[in-house]
């Protein structure tokens, strides 16, 4: 019997890219139920996937969906956006604000709304899709990096709060993935399905930090290097 056969899973941002890859992989792994959440859910979905409407920035909608899907035992917080910004852009504050509302506060809203049901079931899983960008800094990457670093802190604090409640809280880090978000990036990119497969195997093994590729492993290692003198 598959580890996932007893799980009813909500995947956010599941219309395409990594979210769609997670949904398809979960069906193939025999998940009891797979809910694919998106602002405008794609229909029809592959067999075994149930589309649901969810804008993670709409707290009322998040709370309502959590009441409707009280059977959920696993949440994959995948919804996210990417916009470039530098310190000197006129709209830098607005861009960072929009990123935080989706990549951080959306994740927090979904986690807070669904956690009571996970606890009530006696165990559960929260898996947050983060990034090598959680640790990286570079020109134009400010807004995304800030949002992912904050989401990493949220993940770590969520894990600390839920450790005694039998809820596994897993951070998933990867480098560039071949999705619409990275369509303009010319370099090598990871296949979304390979990322989903690796992450789901690690979750089933109980891992609470997943470094999918060399880029994410190198980014974490670099984050603890001494800061050079000015």
User: What is the tens place of the pLDDT at every residue in 108-141?
Assistant: 999 999 999 999 999 999 999 999 999 998 888 8
Cα(112)–Cα(114) distance, integer angstroms: 6
Cα dist from 84 to 131, 153, 181, whole Å: 15, 21, 11
The CA-to-CA distance between both ends of the chain, in Å, stands at 57
Which tokens in the block code for residue 194? 């390979």
| H or E stretch at 38 | strand 33-38
Cα(154)–Cα(156) distance, integer angstroms: 6
Cα(38)–Cα(205) distance, integer angstroms: 28
Q: Which domains are assigned to the chain?
A: 3-223 (3.40.50.720)
pLDDT in tens, the chain (230 residues): 789 999 999 999 999 999 999 999 999 999 999 999 999 998 678 889 999 999 999 999 999 999 999 999 999 999 999 999 999 999 999 999 999 999 999 999 999 999 999 999 999 999 999 999 999 988 888 999 999 999 999 999 999 999 999 999 999 999 989 776 655 666 787 999 999 999 999 999 999 999 999 999 999 999 999 989 99
Query: H helices within the chain, ranges in order?
Result: 17-28, 59-68, 92-99, 107-120, 142-162, 192-204, 214-223
pTM value is 0.94
DSSP secondary structure string for all residues of 73-86: -EEEE-------B-
């Amino acid at each position: 019997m598959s580890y996932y056969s007893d799980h009813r899973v909500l995947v956010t941002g599941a219309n395409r890219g990594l979210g769609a890859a997670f949904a398809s992989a979960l069906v193939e792994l025999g998940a009891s139920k797979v809910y694919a959440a998106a602002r405008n859910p794609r229909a029809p979905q592959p067999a075994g996937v149930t589309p649901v409407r969810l804008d993670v920035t709409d707290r009322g909608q998040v709370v309502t969906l959590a009441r409707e899907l009280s059977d959920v035992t696993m949440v994959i917080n995948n919804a996210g956006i990417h916009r470039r910004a530098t310190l000197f852009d006129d709209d830098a504050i607005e861009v960072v604000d929009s990123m935080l509302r989706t990549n951080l506060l959306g994740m927090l809203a979904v986690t807070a709304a669904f956690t009571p049901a996970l606890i009530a079931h006696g165990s559960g899983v929260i898996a947050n899709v983060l990034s090598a960008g959680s640790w990286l800094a570079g020109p134009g990457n400010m807004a995304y990096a800030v949002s992912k670093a904050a989401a990493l802190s949220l993940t770590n604090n969520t894990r600390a709060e839920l450790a005694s409640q039998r809820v596994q809280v897993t951070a998933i880090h990867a480098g560039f993935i071949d999705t619409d978000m990275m369509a303009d990036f010319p370099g090598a990119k990871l296949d979304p399905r390979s990322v989903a497969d690796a992450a789901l195997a690690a979750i089933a093994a109980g891992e609470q930090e997943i470094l999918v590729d060399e880029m994410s492993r190198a980014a974490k290692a670099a984050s603890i290097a001494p800061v050079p003198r000015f």
